[in-house]
Amino acid sequence: MSLTAEPNQPEARLVLFRIHVASMWDESLVWLLAEHGFGNAVAEMSFPAGAVASDVQDPNRSSEVRICVDFELAAALRILLPQWLQQLGLATDAWQCYEEPHLEAERFDPNLWQQAWKPFRCANFVVSADFHKPQTSLLRPHDVPLILKTGSAFGTGTHPTTRLALKAIQKWCVDGLPTRLLDVGTGSGILSVAAALKGVREVSGMDPDPFSAKQAHAMADLNHVGDVCNFWRGSFDSAAGQWPVVVANLVADIFQEEAGSLGRLVAPQGELFAGGILRRHWATTAAAFAAEGLVLRSSSGRGRWLAGIWGKS
């Protein structure tokens, strides 16, 4: 398509790329764009009009990854994009890319991220932000509204590892509601609050980030579960005792270094969810847990990310 500006309009010095890929690969593409210096992209999952986006891996569901780049970078991206998607295993007919001119002023619209962030459904949670209109008319009988408190730097809850963790919490609460749960590296508090909303009566979380505890408390209060949640700033050794369920959505390097510390927090017959593990680091991370007597009971994945639930005998 033509990249010339409209008559009597400011000259467009940017190109907006709109890349349609299967939803399970959108996060990988966003990461590749950032890693290769093209900047921050936004991924928006498509869903039927009037419905909340689902986390089900429907092969017909796609995401649109959008990124604005300077004209000088556009030519390089046209070359690299097919190479990246081929390396991910996507056939040429499994993705589409559209281009259009874009104005500099539109690139820095502070409201663009809010427009791109849509409520989504994951494991019977309907996740939305505090600036979204209530989704009550779209809720199914067993849906649990989970509202994120904006104002933190901890993300929107859409990351694949967060979704895998929400599914693990849902499974625990269906199979046998745990009495207590510890969230290691709690961040915004999304996983702790999700567990409290499902009925866990004692939820604790810690994070070394100085802003995490305040943000997590605010989110718990927003969702009316502040009375069962407790958050503090600290590392592994700040959590006393053992817990029937431990959630740790971190990274592989920390798991490998702190497998023993995490293992000590899990009570006998308890379980540990460990998420945020890249596929290439899976074997090494699993071996570190096995060396501490933790047995892999199940695993799940989304794109390039894997997660597992380990049990302690």
**pLDDT surpasses 90 at 159:** no
Cβ pair 168, 247 in contact under 8 A: yes
- Domain match, 110 and 173 both: no
In a domain, 55, yes or no: yes
Predicted structure pTM score: 0.70
Task: Let me know whether 204 and 307 are in one domain.
Answer: yes
Asked if residue 288 and residue 158 are part of one domain, the reply reads: yes
Domain residue limits at 293: 154-312
pLDDT in tens, 233-287: 998 889 889 999 999 999 899 999 999 999 999 999 999 999 999 899 999 999 9
Where does a domain end: 116, 141, 172?
116
Instruction: Name which of 288, 292, 278, 283 is nearest 256 in CA terms.
Output: 288
Q: Count up the domains in the chain and report the number.
A: 2
Which residue is listed with tokens 């959008």? 66
Calpha distance 191→250 (Å, rounded): 12
Q: Are residues 181 and 112 in the same domain?
A: no
CATH number reported for the structural domain that contains residue 101 in this entry: 3.30.70.120
Residue 172 lies in a domain: yes
**Maximum CA extent, the chain:** 72
215 closest CA partner among 243, 192, 187: 187
Identify whether residues 230 and 161 lie together within a single domain.
Answer: yes
**Mean pLDDT lowest for which of 99-113, 155-169, 231-245, 273-287?**
99-113
Q: Looking at the structure, do residues 163 and 279 belong to the same domain, yes or no?
A: yes
Both 100 and 204 in one domain: the answer is: no
